Amino acid sequence: MSTKLVYFAWVRERIGKPEEEITVPADVVTVRDLLNHLKSLGEEYENALQYPEVIRVAIDQEHVEHSEKIAGAREIGIFPPMTGG
């Protein structure tokens, strides 16, 4: 499965790109699996996702829990806790 990932704020800065298409391995089922998979892709990902419990994720632009399944997702947003307002 190929999925578009979009990154924001310090997650974007640490990974070093705003977005990318990745091929998701078959054993990556949930958001939590995806974050662990990304951490294995290199130092910049490890750096960005060092503390996955603080990372927020949106599937097709809606907030989801880390236990959510990612099957069928067109776009997955990965970002730090929000600080707007």
Partner 1 sequence: MIVEPRIQVQSQDFDLQSEIDTVTAGRKNIGAVVTFSGLCRDEHGALSALELEHYPGMAEAEMRRIAEIAIERFSLLGLTAVHRYGKIMPGENIVLVVAAAPHRQAAFDGASFMMDFLKTSAPFWKKEHAADGTARDWVAAKDADDTARDKWR
Sequence-ordered list of residues with C-beta below 8 angstroms from that of 18, at least 6 positions apart, any chain: 6, 7, 8, 12
Strand pairing category for 62-64 and 19-23: unpaired
- Which stretch in 1-9, 19-27, 39-47, 64-72 sits in contact with partner 1 by CB under 8 A? 1-9
- Which stretch in 8-16, 19-27, 30-38, 39-47 sits in contact with partner 1 by CB under 8 A? 8-16
Strand pairing category for 2-7 and 75-79: parallel
Helix and strand element counts for the chain (H, E): 3, 5
Residue whose CB is less far from partner 1, 28 or 78? 78
* Closest separation in Å from C-beta 4 to partner 1: 13
Give the integer Cα–Cα distance in Å for 73 and 20.
14
The site map against partner 1 for 48-67 (x = CB under 8 A) is ----------x--xxx----
- Which stretch in 26-34, 40-48, 65-73, 74-82 sits in contact with partner 1 by CB under 8 A? 74-82
